């Protein structure tokens, strides 16, 4: 699995109503390549099943979105996320990855079918 596919696999865990940061996503991938994560998300062929609109800057600012910032805001608000002054409260909405050695991000992607609800690590476990 290449870098982009690994990024999409991890990001597919973030549920509606939650966000993550480029930094957190990179850390879960065991890298400091935050900009590379952003570049991968900009090329995401699986959107919206792989929810790149749920990734923001570590400061809480919205960051970019391939379909435009207005579309990102619309999508986040439709999922119940509050946005004030173009920022999101990380304390309230940040998804915490449960990083451990059992996570397998190196499986094969077969198009969007690889990102079914059953394949995601359920946050309630």
Q: How many domains, in total, are found in the chain?
A: 1
Catalytic residue from among 25, 52, 62, 109: 52
| Per-residue pLDDT band at 20 (split at 50, 70, 90) | very high
pLDDT digits (tens, 9 = 90+) for 27-72: 999 999 999 999 999 999 999 999 999 999 999 999 999 999 999 9
Does residue 60 lie in a domain region?
Answer: yes
3-11 vs 34-42: helix crossing angle, rounded to 10: 80
- Show the domain range for 33: 3-92
Looking at the domain assignment, is residue 112 inside a domain? no
Q: Is 122 a member of any domain?
A: no
Residue 106, in any domain of the structure: no
CATH code for the domain in which residue 18 is found = 1.10.10.10
7 is catalytic: no
Rounded Cα distance between 94 and 21, Å, is 8
Distance CA 40, CA 58 (A): 17
CA dist., res. 23 & res. 111, Å (int): 26
Contact indicator for 54, 18 with CB cutoff of 8 Å: yes
Say whether pTM exceeds 0.75. yes
Task: Answer whether residue 19 is part of any domain.
Answer: yes
Going from the C-alpha of 71 to that of each of 27, 75, 97, 119, the distances in angstroms are 27, 6, 25, 27
Closest CA to 82 of 56, 101, 58, 49: 56
């Amino acid at each position: 699995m290449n870098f982009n596919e690994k990024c999409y696999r991890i990001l597919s865990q973030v549920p509606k109503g939650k966000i993550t940061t480029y930094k957190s996503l990179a850390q879960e991938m065991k890298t400091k390549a935050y900009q590379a994560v952003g570049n991968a998300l900009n090329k995401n062929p699986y959107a919206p099943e792989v929810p790149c609109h749920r990734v923001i800057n570590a400061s809480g600012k919205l960051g970019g979105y391939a379909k435009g910032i207005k579309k990102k805001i619309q999508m986040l608000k439709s999922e119940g996320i509050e946005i004030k002054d173009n920022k999101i409260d990380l304390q309230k909405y940040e998804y915490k990855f449960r990083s451990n050695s059992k996570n397998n991000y190196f499986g094969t992607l077969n198009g969007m079918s690889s990102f079914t609800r059953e394949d995601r690590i359920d946050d309630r476990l």
